[in-house]
Structure formats: C-alpha cells, structure tokens
Structure 1
Amino acid sequence: MDENVVVLPVLPLRGMMVFPYMMVHLDAGREQSISALEKAMLVEDKHVFLVAQRDSDLEDPQMSDLYSVGTVAEIKHLMKLPDGAIRVLVEGLYRGQIVSAIEQEEDYLIANVREYHDKIDKSIEMEALVRVVVHEFEQWVKSSKKIPADAMVSVSIIDDAGRLADMIAGHINLKLDDRQAILESIDVKERLERLYGFLKREKDILDIERKIGTRVRRQIEKVQKEYYLREKVKAIHNELGDQNGILGDIEEYKERLSKGHFPDEVVKTVEKELKRLERTQGMSQEGAVIGTYIDNLLSMPWESLSEDINDIKAAAAVLDRDHYGLEKVKERILEFLAVRQLTNGQNAPILCLVGPPGVGKTSLAGSVAKALGRKFVRASLGGVRDEAEIRGHRRTYVGAMPGRILEALKKAGTRNPVFLLDEVDKMGSDYKGDPTSALLEVLDPAQNNTFSDHYIELPFNLSDVLWIVTANDIGSIPRPLLDRMEVINLSSYTEQEKLEIAKQYLLPRQRTRNGLSGKEIRLGAGVLQRMINEYTRESGVRELERVIGHLCRKVARKIVEGDTESVYVTTKNLVDILGKVKYPHTKAKRKPEVGLCTGMAWTQVGGDILPTEVNIFPGTGKLILTGKLGDVMKESAQAALSYIRSRQDKFELAEDFYEKNDIHVHFPEGAVPKDGPSAGITMATAIVSGLTGRRVRSDVAMTGEITIRGNVLAIGGLKEKVLAAYREGIRTIVLPKENERDIEDIPESVREKLEFVPVENMDKVLETALCQ
C-alpha cells in the first residue's frame, strides 16, 4: 500500500463514522471542531482528518480519547449557522492513521497522519470474495427493505474491491465498534472477510425479527377474534337484560348521579364519561380508568356541608379542657372563630401555628374542629416535593389519582372540615414542580373557590374549609405563602406548665394506654418534677410523655410478673425504675473562667444555651472560628474583633496585640450548624476576657447583635432563649435594650426568678459579665 505522512487538523466525531468515498453533511458546534474546520479551509487542498471518539459523551476529547485510524476527507462546502455552529459537506478520500500528535497553542487537535491508499488486486480469490459479499448484500437488501433497491445497482457496478467494501459498510446498520473494525482493516481482503461476517450476522438477525413479527401478528389476530366474541356476548347480555359486569357499574353510577346533589358541570361530565364507558369493552384498561374517574367525581362532597356549632363559650371550654396554658394562643383562636361567625367565614385569615415540636400545634387544630363540630382532616407536607401531591396527577398517566387536598375532602365527606396542613416549612421542590406554589391557590381566598385539580379537572370550592397550617421554623416558609397566613407563635413550656400538663394529661393518658389504674401506679411528691429536670431537655412535652410511658411499662411488667399489686414511685426509687439520669443536676456549679462565656441561641426545636470558648496564643494575627458556623456568625466575630481593636487603649492591650497573637473562637457541638447575629456580644465578651485575663461570670447568659462601634442591636426569640437559660440554672440575663419590651412575654413564674440587664453598648455588657 502507498504510504505517506502529512500534517492535518483533526476533527473528532461523536457517535458516527465516515468511510472513504462517502459524502456526508456534518454539524460542528464545539469550539475545538470549529477551529479545526476553519484551519482546514485555509489549506490549499482543504483536507481534514475525521476520526471517531472512543467515548461519545466527552465534550473536550484529547488525542488519547480518539481511535487511531480514521478517514482523510476533503471539505466540499462550509456554511455558518445562526447559532454559531458550522455545517460542512465532506467527502471521504482514503484511510489514515495518527502517527503522533503535534503540540501547539491553538485550541484544536493537529497530528501527523499516515495515508493509506488501497492496492488493486485482480486475483481470482479476490474476485470470488467480492462476489460472495455482493450476493450477501443483495440478500440483506431484499430482507431489510431499509434502503432502496437502486442502491444495489450503484454498488454492483463498482469494480474496485476496497471501494466496494467501504460503500457496503456505509449502507448497512452496524454498531460503531463494528464500523471501526472495518475502517481499521487496511488490507482489502481482510476488510471484505470482516464485512462478509457482519452481513451474515445482520441477515440472521433479520430472519429472527421476521419470525417474531409473524408470531406477534398471530397474537393480534387472536386478540381481535376475542374482541369480536366479547362484542357478541355484550349484545347477547343487552338482549337478555343482564345487569352484570360493566353494564351493572353503569347503572350504579347513573343511580348515584340521580340521587346525589351535584353541580351542573359535574352532571354533564359524568354523563359524557358514562357514554364513553358504554362504548368500551368490559375488561379493557380504558374502561377501568373511566370507571375510576366517574367514581371519584361522584364521591367528592360537591354540595355537602356540616353545620357549625356557633358557641364561643363552648369553644373556649373545649380549648381549656384539652390544653393547659397557652392563654394568648387560645384567646387569638377564639377571636378568629368569633370573626368567622360574624362574617359567615368570608375572607377569614389562614391560621399558621409556629413553634417547637411537642408544644401542641396539631392537637390545637383538632380542638378547634371539636369546638366547631366539624370534621377534622390532616395532610402532612413534610418532605413533599412533587406538585402533583397537591394538584393531583393528569389522567393521561397510568395510576393517576387526585391530590392530597381533594382526597382528604373525599374521605371527610364534607366540603367544610377543619383542614390541618402539617409541617409546611419542610416542603421541598425538584424537577417535578414546586408544591409550595401549588398551595398558593389552595390557601388564597380570592382563588380557592374555583380550585382545579389536575385529575378532577373541574372547579371545586375550597372557600368553606377552615385552614390551619403548622410549622417549626417560620423562616423556611416561602414569603408569598406566608403573606396569606396569620402567624400565631407557640413558645416553649415552662417547668411549671410541663408539671401541670403531665399531671392533667400525660400521666392519665399513659396509665390508660398501658392498662394501669390509679391504684396500681402512684407517684410521690416531686417525682414528675424530677423526671422533667433530669430525664428531659425539650421545649415541648413529647419526650416527657415518652418517659412517663416508659415508667408505666416498667410498672406494668412488675404487676404482670406477680412481684407486686401496685407500685409507689418516689424520688428515691425513680432511678431504679427508669435507669440512670440523662441530664445530671449540675446547674450553676461551673466556676468563672477566662475566655468562657455563655450565649443563648434560638433553634427550630426551641431555645438553647451556646457556650463560647476563646483561646489566645502567639501567632500571626489570625482569627480562627470553629464549630460549624454560618456566614452571619463569622461576620459577627469579625465585627467583635474590630470593636476590640478600636478600644484597645481602654482594655490596656498592646498596639500590636492582633498581629502577634492568634485568637481561636470555638463553639462546642461542632456537628450542629450554628448561624445568626445574636452571638455577637457573646463572642466579644469571650475575646475581651481572653485578651485581658479577666474571668467571665458563670451565672450570666447573654444575647445581642454587635456593631463595629460596640452598639448592641435587637434580636428575636427572646422568650425561648431565656427559658433555655433558666433550665440551665442561669439567673442573670443580658439582653439588648430594644428587647426590653419582650420581657413581659416571659412567664411570671420564670421572670420573677431572673435578673434582666438591658444594654445599649458593650461597655455595659462587660461591666455586668466580667468579674471585678
């Protein structure tokens, strides 16, 4: 074979291949490919080397990602498209093989390519091989019928064996690897032998496909025959008046339609669907889909309304009986109910109960339903990411169903229940849509009187539903959704409230659930208080109820085993029954230390204290922050340091203290994310303590945002923070002056045991927190 090495630009091909003597259009969109074509157009012969990628998914292939053998082609025509891509007409000339890549600064590949030109072989063996290949190709053309018969004529007149093989390989449908194998067959005889093997395989595949087609056609004929027989049976049933099967279902639907009260649109839709159902065959899938749709339409409470109990005093009695404390919350709910009664429910706000887990949000909604005499339905939205969960699925999908809203109303059997949307702050969104956006139509009084579910596809009136929404974190609720709701905050319970809830609700309920009577389990003085203090750390009472349930189960086992007939639980034998204390009573025993300050934080599950540690050591002036802090908290640390540097004379610090020392601020429990501005004065106090060596009082907790001038700004969640500090034995609270008005929200039983120090600047903070 004739061989010659030339330098050519390389054009990588994805998922395709060009043989010699083929003329094809190519679209080039990658910058690498466009540059290679433009370079080729500048050369006199306009030659480019076309070679396939090993992995067609690679966007920026290198020389190692390409096959070595390809086709040298000539560019016949080049046209730039409006989107910046290039469409080019190329004609394959002959084979080539990459000898080596050429290093250059341009953004396209260029290589030394060895050219291969086929040698003419007129031997008898070659002529025989050509004939069998042409014959097999003729058989393939007749069997496949995928290419016109005149293609066979254009192949048969070629007397060049190498060109014949390339033309046939270009016509048949081979995998990329098989095409590459033929292209890499430099020897013409080897190329024809490989092509013959591929043709034989393709011919066998076509024979198998023909057999499968014949078998499927027979099955279709059988189905058509069965359909004909079913139609005859259907006609016989009609003549006999038999009401079994689908005819019985149709009659049942018609009877339900005539006896029920439905809007005109629903009646027209059901009648239309019944006509479609009559035309379907009994066991068809379409008939089942239509039947399910009609059943859902007739099951919806289109006109069904329950009568309200308009007695505010009775409602107040229900709320007081079911819930201890929460006076402001219950007062707001009663105001809400009174307004609904006067306005007949027109444009009433949607209540959003926000608070930590276990403070009674869900049970409050149930009490409202009980007070009004309405049905109560609940839909938990935590983790919902699909919009179809709210709006329903289109009927084009197999297994489609209405959304959670209409499905819950169907089960309630009334159009005006109390509907609780639980955990709305834990909804998400993905490629299936945004369910929070779908809720906008559900909750908006201006739109929900014609709510359209994708499955029902008829307007349904949701304006009579009393909507109550719950959430743990108001910041996670999308703003457009929050604008449609009135927020009622439920804060953490105090120890006294927990004690009363345990006595009045939790203990009786757990005794009943565990089969115990009041005589079989008796609790001594101080037992419940100790369980609250030493076995729970929470804002609500869920963990407390679990601990009481654990106690009841232990007692139940003792009674069943026959050890005793009753158990009297005291503070002395409580540990023997429940096991070791989870939260030892070590409140306020820590001594004042240098660089250790107690802050306060708000979390989704209530308040918590935030110990802040500072170490000062020789270094290069770095501020090290650890404890999984968010961006806002890191900025607060920088602001605190700026304030300290501006007051270094007052603190008697060296002028270059920030250059020769590293300051490490650490928040324990590093696995827990922490963010927010309210730890600013805490960090500033801890850093000042570390730099000056003055100890921080251990009975002081603080919260407040700091500015670089040392001013203290207001924060949120004061009540939860103070209750958490009180649980930990703190008795002095440093808070921003602007938050002084929020002190009255703290229960009096806690407030009277604490000392509050409102501050406007860091000087007052340090004066209170640092030991003299």
Structure 2
Amino acid sequence: MVKKFEKLEKLAKESLQTPELPKLLPLIHLRNGMIIFPQTVIPIHVAREKTLMALEHSIDSYQQFVFVTSQKDPSVEEPTFEQLYQIGTISKVLQVIQLPDGTFRVLLEGIERARAYEIVQQEPLIARLEILKTNYKKTKKIEALMRSVRESFSKYALYTQRYSQETLSAVSETVEANRFADYIASLLPISLEQRQMLLEELHPGRRLELLLQILLHENEILEIERQLDTKVKKRIEESQKEFFLREKLKAITEELGEKDSEAAQLRINLERSQLPDFVRKKALSEIERLEKMSPYSAEATVIRTYVDWLINLPWNNSTQDREDMNQAKEILEKSHYGLEEAKERILEFLAVRKRSKSVRAPILCFVGPPGVGKTSLARAVAQALDRKFAHMSLGGLRDEAEIKGHRRTYIGAMPGRILQLIRNVQSKNPVLLLDEIDKLAVSFQGDPAAALLEVLDPEQNKEFVDHYLEVPFDLSNVLFITTANVTHTIPPALLDRMEVIWLEGYTDHEKLAIAKSYIIPKLMSEFALNEQLLKISQSAVKKIIHSYTREAGVRQLTRSLQRLMRKAVLKIEEGEKSILINSKDIEQYLGQEIIQNDVILTKPEIGAVHGLAWTEYGGTVMIVETLIMPGKGELILTGRLGEVMKESARIALSVARSFCGEKCKKLFQESDIHINLPEGAVPKDGPSAGVTMTVAMISSALKKKIRNDTAITGEITLRGKILAVGGIKEKVLAAHRYGINRILLPKSNEKDLSKIPPQIKNKMEFILINSIDEVVEKICL
C-alpha cells in the first residue's frame, strides 16, 4: 500500500491548477469530533482498512480527491450511511506518511462543501455528491460582522494564549468573508455539533453571526474565570503574608518563652483530666500539631474541637448502682402498674450486678403496642438503678453517621448521637433508651441498623470506635434499652443481640387501676387541682374506658382525662366551687360516645363470622364475610389483604370444597366466591384468619348460620388441621372489649391461656379445636 502512495508527490507537482470537482468520490468518515472546513489544511491519522482503501482509490482513480464527513456517534466502529452527516467537504490528499506503529498520517486540504445523497459502492465507500456553492454579496453588514468576529477572536486569543503569531496574522490578513468564516471556525475548540452546524451553513453572513455568538459566550466565560483566578491569587498572597507574620510572631513568642494561649489551655485541661493512656497520647499529639499552625486556620479549629471532645468525654466517670433491692422494687411498682415480666428482669439484673461487678449490662428490647408504657418504663429503670438517663429516637433515622459519627475530613463533623448523649449525661454507664428501633430506614447514606450491630453487641461494644474520635470507647457498661411495636421489621442480626420483653395491652380492670392510681393524681397535680375542687367517680372512668377509648395502652385514656379536666378547670374559673363528675356527665364534657359496636354482628348470619387479629396497636376483632354468586369458580378477595392472607384464602377455599363434598361440587364450579374483610383502608396480613375464612365459606355453601357470640382464630392446613398462632392475649382482650365471651382457639395455643388475667379468663369460654370438623360443630347453628 505504501508503494501505491509513492506516486502521490509526483501527482501533486503535476496538478498546478484545480480541475473541475468530480461528483462521484470515495467517502472517508472521521470521528472524535474532527471536521474539515474549505480552504483549510488538516492532518489526520488513519488506521481503519476501509479508510486506507478509500485513500488508495482517491489517488488511483479520482485525482487525489476524496469526500470527508463525520460520524454522528464516535463510538460506532463501522457506521452506516444514516449514522454519518450527509454534508461534508471535498478534500484533496496532499501527503501520506506511514508511521512506526503501522498507521498513516494523511494531510488533507478542504476544497468545497458538498452533500452525499447516495452510496453507489460499499468496498470502498463511493458516494454520489451534490456540490454546494456559496453565493453572496459583500455588504456592510458582512464587513461589520467580520470586524466584530476578528475583535472577539483577538480577545479570545488573548485569554487563551493558545495561538501563534502566524495564526493571528493570517486572521487579520484574510479579507474574503467566506474563507475568513471557515478559517475562524477551524481554529475554535468547539463541539462536533457546533462545527457541523457551521459547515452546513452556506451563507458566510449567517456563519459569521453564529461564530460571533460562540465567541461572545466563550469570552464571557473566560472573563469570569479570569476574575476568579485573580481573587484566588489575591487570597493566596494574603494567606502567605499572614503565614509569614504568624511565623514571625511564633518565633518571637518562643524567644520570650510563651506559647499559644488556646493550646496552652488545652494542655492544662488535659493534665487535669483523668484519661486512659492511649487517649492522652492521642490528645497530646493533636495539641502539638495545633501549636505548629496558625490559630486562625480551618484545620486548627478542627483540632481544637477534636481535642475538646477527647478531654470532655466521661472515660472514667460512672455512677454507683443502687444495691437496695427492696427500694428498687418499690420504685418500679410506684411508677408502673402491671408489667411484671419486665420488672422481674430488671430486678434480676440488679441482683446479679450486686453479687458480681463483672457482669455485662443486658440489651433489653421492650416490644408492645403504643401507649403501654415502654418509654416511661425505661425511665423508671434508670431511676431504680440510680443511673443517668438518655433518650434517642430512631424513628425514620436513615444516616448511619448519626450512630457512628462523621470522619474529621468532613466540614462540621461531629461524633455520633451515642457519644453525644454520653457526654451530655457525663457518665459512662447511663441507661440509654433507643426508641422505635423497628422504624429505622435505609438510604444511600447507609444502613443505621447495621451500624447498631456493633453498639448493641456485648462482645463488641467494649471497644466501640466512633468515626470522629478514631479511638475506642467502652460502651459495655451502658444499659441499652430499645423499644418497638413489632419485631418482624427489625433486622434478624440486630434482633438476635437483644433480649425481647413483651409488654401486652392492658385489660379494662388494669386501665381503671392505672387511671385511679397514676394518671388522675398526675393530671390533678399538673392542673393544680385537688379532691375538694374536682372529683371523678369510678363509674365515670369506666364510661370513658368503654365508650371513648378502645386501645391496648392508656394514651387515649390520658388525653380524654386531660380534656375532661380542662373543661372542669374552665368551670371552676367561671365561679363553680367544686365539681363531681359521674358517668352520666361524661357526654357533657367529652361529647357523644366515640366507640360504637357496629363491627359486631348483632344476630347469627350466613357467611359472616367474627375473626381475631393482632396488630402493632394491639388486638382487634374483625368480621370475615363471604358471598357466593353465579360465576366461573373464581375467588375474589377485597379488604387490602397481604400475600400471606391471600394464600390462606386459597387454602381455605380448598378446605371448604373438600368439607362440603359432592353435594356442593356443582355450586363451587358454577359460582364465584367473594371474601371481604371490612375497613378496606387498613392493610391486613398473616395466616391467623385461615380458619375464619374457611368457616365463612362453609356457612355460605351449606346455608348454615354462624353464632354471633363467638370469635375464631387459627391457621388452617390443606388437611383441615388447626395450627397455633401468636398474639393470643391481645386477641382475647380485644374480644372481651367488644363483649364477645366465647372464643375458639387452636389446641396448640392452650399454654397461652395462662397469660390471660384471671378476672377476664373467668368470664370467658375457651373452646380448644384441632380440626375444621370441630370448628363447624361448635360455631354453626
């Protein structure tokens, strides 16, 4: 191929005049943003075989002429005709030189614009062309545009300092508008799209307008950059001057035997504090760094803050645990009614701690519905232990730096909230409450639950390393207490590190006792009332519990009593001497009854049965209703059911069809079965409604009424067996609140009946069931 290029020099010498341009030429497509403008010479590097073949044909058969255009997408190795710009430049091959790496360097001279409108040969690419002539008159507007472009280019060249004196002279000497516009366009480092737009514009006046816009924009950007550079240079000079003066001042103070006052004060504070050796060594090295730099530098501020944190953390400060077991028990009983399991666990820890100081603090997790006293119980634990108390809410937390801090390289970095709370209470063994641990979130900033794994692991938290401090801090003496409404949203690895203590909902009897002994005395003190001014009868409190609140905890009960007392205070301030509130007066203070028993069946019905459910807010009673109607044997489910409950419904349908036998076979084949769980806005899930849905379908198919004084819970299998479910105590309490005193439970849940308070258990009838046959026998009329 090199030999075929040897005659190129001879042909170039013989071609003294440009012949008429051919309209059929080999096509070369360039990439990497390269475009050849007419009247310009540009070198290109050629490695692709097709391009070399096109150059060879150009020299052999087309008088060294070639049509050059550009690819729209430079990443395409073998572009199609549609992937090329149609408008390009007819160019002449001036020189071809082979380089050491095997590629060729080709010198091309742009001659004239042309448009390729047809490919007549593929190997090599031969294109049929339309020559695009430029016709214009040199007007005053064009002269003005040329002058503006020349001035703007001179200003651009002054900013960039990238053009030689010969280039600038050529710009000033070019007077023909068409050639001038193409020459300026070839000099500017602009995008491929802008270059192609200038190449496709035939009229030099419009081309000059586009160039003027580009140059004005570039000059404006360069002027802003120049101003920024000037400001930065000025600041650097001022900083160097300040550094020089600070160094002189430092030398003078050293000659006088003085030191920087802040660094000296940090040294004094370090000597007064009782820090572990590794912490003291770290702080001392940072103070020495501080003494060697300007006190006004940004890094000096970071170091001062860091050393201050090291000195002021309670590395060795701790409180003495209360060892009087009876006093601790009295404090727990005084602050909370019931919750015997939680109180017993705290007293066990106190007893073991009293006997052995080496025992590690447990990680407790109080799980229960809202309002049962999880947070207040944690405060009571701190009071019983005579420890400092700190509280941190984890609900919605999505940044792991809130737990483990930011590294000092970040602006405004601080330790995590754990160490912030410990510093605030100035004790290394507080009771630290991590509230709502089941509501942690995950984001691009990290997973806080993963960061808590180290904090809540007794095997690891002895050497907890915060990202900001970078030295280990002992958290093994901290009594961590977490709270949650449910456990299934807590990551298993995190849940495994905690000891779960369940706090079930309160019975009406317990709510009455809590209201009398805890809530009312506390509110009377807050509202500055006494029994001579206001007295609330027991019947009034029962009325509020039954008709205005139906919850597992006592939060709504507290709000209702607050509202009642506010209205009573208003009457007292208006002149009444004393007020006695009985049950008949409650509507006057709190309005009409809020709780209605409209979810309870008032009479036996076909296809409707009471089910029992457990939610994070406690137990509840729900009606499962079914309707069989003409159709194609489809199962329709409504009521925002989760995937597990949908699977239970399909199992229930199979069990119901098997139970009803041949007499209902045609009914199931020619009918659609619709299962609905009212309160469609509330999501529902879990397997414990399996038996309930099965009974409802059997009732609809056999036209048997179901007792309305009975509720059911349990998981159903394909063989009709009844499996155990959770939340039995909450479900039983919910049934009792709604006045349902007959309950069918799985035989496997018999052990859970021991957790039900005797005053409720004695009023209810529990029927233990093993199979669907027993259920139908006990509930259908």
Question: What is the distance in 2 between the residues matched to 1:367 and 1:513?
Answer: 20
1:271 is aligned to 2:248: no
Whether 1:426 aligns to 2:442 is no
Equivalent of residue 686 in structure 2, options 670, 676, 688: 676
- For 2:772, the equivalent position in structure 1 comes to 762
Supply the distance in 1 between the matched residues of 2:317 and 2:706 (Cα, whole angstroms): 66
CA 1:155–1:341: 2 relative to 1, 3 Å: farther
- Cα deviation for residue 304 of structure 1 reads 1.0
The residue number in structure 1 matching 2:420 is 407
> Cα deviations across residues 241-268 of structure 1 (Å, max 9, x unaligned)?
999xxx4332332222111100112111
Q: Are 2:653 and 1:641 aligned?
A: yes
State the Cα distance separating 1:415 from its structure 2 match: 0.6
| Coordinate RMSD, CA, aligned | 4.3
Partner in structure 2 of residue 82 of structure 1: none
Name which of structure 1's ranges 421-430 and 127-136 shifts more when overlaid on structure 2.
127-136
Q: 1:752 aligns to what?
A: 762
Q: What are the equivalent positions in structure 2 for 1:6-21 lying under 5 Å apart?
A: 17-20=33-36
Counterpart check, 1:614 vs 2:630:
no
Q: Structure 1 residues 303, 761: closer, same or farther in 2, change over 3 A? A: same
Worse overlay, 333-342 or 371-380? 333-342
1-structure distance, mates of 2:174, 2:419: 72
Instruction: Indicate the larger mover: 127-136 or 735-744.
Output: 127-136
- Superposition deviation, residue 434 in structure 1: 0.9
CA distance in 2, matches of 1:356, 1:610: 18
Are the structure 2 counterparts of residues 23 and 685 from structure 1 closer, same or farther at C-alpha, using a change threshold of 3 Å? farther
Deviation digits for residues 552-586 of structure 1 (CA, Å, limit 9, x no counterpart): 11111111222x02211011111101111111466
1:515 aligns with 2:528: yes
Separation in structure 1 between the aligned mates of residue 767 and residue 109 of structure 2, nearest angstrom = 88
| Structure 1, 146-155 or 471-480: larger mean CA deviation | 146-155
**Aligned equivalents of 1:628 and 1:211: distance in 2?**
63
**Matching residue within 729, 743, 748 for 1:733:** 743
Aligned to 2:720: 710
CA-CA distance at 1:747 after TM superposition: 1.1
1:708/1:255 CA distance change after superposition, 3 Å: same
Match of 1:339 in 2: 352
Identify unmatched segments of 5+ residues in structure 2.
1-19, 58-65, 75-80, 97-105, 119-125
2:210 to 150, 172, 194: 194
> Which residue does the alignment assign to 2:485?
472
Note closer, same or farther for the CA distance 1:219–1:329 as it changes in structure 2 (3 Å cut): closer
For 2:192 and 2:53, locate their aligned partners in 1 and report how far apart those are by CA, in whole Å: 31
Cα 1:139–1:241 shift into 2, 3 Å: same
Larger Rg: 2
SS state at 2:390 partner = strand
Q: What SS does structure 2 have at the residue aligned with 1:663?
A: strand
Check whether the contact 2:352–2:359 (CA below 8 A) recurs between aligned residues: no
Residues 709 and 43 of structure 1: CA distance in aligned 2, closer, same or farther (over 3 Å)? farther
Q: Which residue of 2 aligns with 1:84?
A: none
Rounded to whole Å, the distance in 1 between the matches of 2:730 and 2:264 is 62
Say whether residues 1:389 and 2:379 are aligned partners.
no
**CA–CA separation in structure 1 for the residues paired with 2:413 and 2:23:** 66
Q: TM-score, normalized by length of structure 2?
A: 0.82
CA contact 1:73–1:91 (8 Å) conserved in 2 = no
CA shift in 2, pair 1:280/1:96, >3 Å:
farther
After TM superposition, give the deviation of residue 426 of structure 1 in Å: 0.7
Kept in 2: contact 1:452–1:460 (CA 8 A): yes
Structure 2 residue 452 is the aligned partner of structure 1 residue 439: yes
Structure 1 residues 720 and 283 mapped into 2: Cα distance closer, same or farther (>3 Å)? same
Q: Equivalent residue for 2:77?
A: none
Q: Distance in 2 between matches of 1:592 and 1:6?
A: 95
Corresponding residue for residue 328 of structure 1 = 341
Aligned residues: 721
In 2, Cα distance between equivalents of 1:322 and 1:204:
73
**Greater mean deviation of Cα atoms: 289-298 or 195-204:** 195-204
Offset at 1:193?
Answer: 5.0
Which of residues 303, 327, 330 in structure 1 aligns to 2:316?
Answer: 303
Where 1:469 maps in the other structure, the secondary structure is strand
8 Å CA contact 1:703–1:735 kept in 2: the answer is yes
**Using the alignment, how far apart are the partners of 2:109 and 2:599 within structure 1?**
87
Alpha carbons of 1:150 and 1:90: their partners in 2 closer, same or farther (altered >3 Å)?
closer
Q: 2:283 aligns to what SS in structure 1?
A: helix
Could you tell me how far apart the structure 2 residues matched to 1:698 and 1:389 are?
52
Instruction: Give the aligned residue type for 1:727.
Output: R
Deviation sequence 1:601-657 (CA, Å, 0-9, x none) = 11111111121121221122221111111111111111111112223327x31x222
- Partners of 1:70 and 1:475 in 2: how far apart? 66
Measure the CA separation in 2 of the matches of 1:8 and 1:624: 67
Where do 1:132-151 residues align within 5 Å? 137=153, 140-146=156-162
Give the equivalent residue in structure 1 for 2:508. Answer: 495
1:749 to 1:164, Cα distance in 2 relative to 1, 3 A: farther
Determine if the alignment matches structure 1 residue 625 to structure 2 residue 625: no
Distance (whole Å) between structure 2 residues aligned to residue 609 and residue 534 of structure 1: 16
Q: Is the 8 A contact 1:18 1:71 kept in 2?
A: no
**Contact 2:368–2:503, Cα closer than 8 Å, also in 1:** yes
Distance 2:304 2:744 in 1: 68
Q: Structure 1 691/7 Cα, relative in aligned 2: closer, same or farther at 3 Å?
A: farther
Percent of pairs identical after alignment? 44
TM-score, normalising length: structure 1: 0.83
Are the counterparts in 1 of residues 35 and 196 from structure 2 also a CA contact under 8 Å? no
Residue 693 and residue 156 in structure 1: after superposition, are their counterparts in 2 closer, same or farther (change >3 A)?
farther
What's the secondary structure of 2:661's corresponding residue? coil
Q: Deviations over 1:700-735 (max 9, x none)?
A: 111111112211111111111111111111111111
How far is the alpha carbon of 1:404 from its aligned partner? 0.8
1:557/1:233 Cα in 2 relative to 1: closer, same or farther (>3 Å)? farther
Contact 1:359 1:490 in 2 (8 A): yes
Using the alignment, how far apart are the partners of 1:113 and 1:561 within structure 2?
Answer: 102
**C-alpha distance in 2, partners of 1:168/1:534?**
88
What are the Cα deviations for residues 346-365 of structure 1, in whole angstroms up to 9, with x where unaligned? Answer: 34531111111111111222
Unmatched segments (≥5 aa) in structure 1 = 27-36, 57-62, 77-88, 101-111
| Residue equivalent to 2:103 | none
